[in-house]
Amino acid sequence: MPRVSFTGNLQRHLSCPPAEVAGETVRAVLQAVFADNPRLRSYLLDDQGRLRRHVNIFINDRMVHDRCRLSDQVTDADEVFVVQALSGG
């Protein structure tokens, strides 16, 4: 199963430890994570189900291309890393 992990700044706001979940696309992997942690959904996705502008997701070392449908393919050997961008002055 793909392994999903989250950047430290997300973990400060919500409990989101690394997990191994089933899924063949980024959306399916996230849905599996949201089943155990529904509050995380609003941090990552907007009300249309698209990835928020301040969030990036990587499959291994490659950033996902489909930020709307989250249809990028994921294999059992992949690491999915969710990053919340930081900004400020």
CATH number, residue 42: 3.10.20.30
- The answer to whether residue 56 is domain-embedded is yes
- The answer to whether residue 24 is domain-embedded is yes
Total domain count for the chain?
1
- The answer to whether residue 10 is domain-embedded is yes
- The answer to whether residue 89 is domain-embedded is no
Question: Structural domain of residue 75, as residue ranges?
Answer: 3-84
- The answer to whether residue 73 is domain-embedded is yes
Given pLDDT bands bounded at 50, 70 and 90, which one contains residue 88? low
What would the pLDDT profile of 49-71 be if each residue is shown by its tens digit?
Answer: 999 999 999 999 999 999 999 99
Check residue 13 and give its pLDDT. 81
- The answer to whether residue 13 is domain-embedded is yes
What would the pLDDT profile of 7-35 be if each residue is shown by its tens digit?
Answer: 988 888 888 999 999 999 999 999 999 99
- The answer to whether residue 78 is domain-embedded is yes
- Examine the pLDDT at 85 and tell me if it is beyond 80: no
User: With the C-alpha atoms ordered 58, 74, 31, 46, is the resulting torsion angle positive or negative?
Assistant: positive
Check residue 12 and give its pLDDT. 82
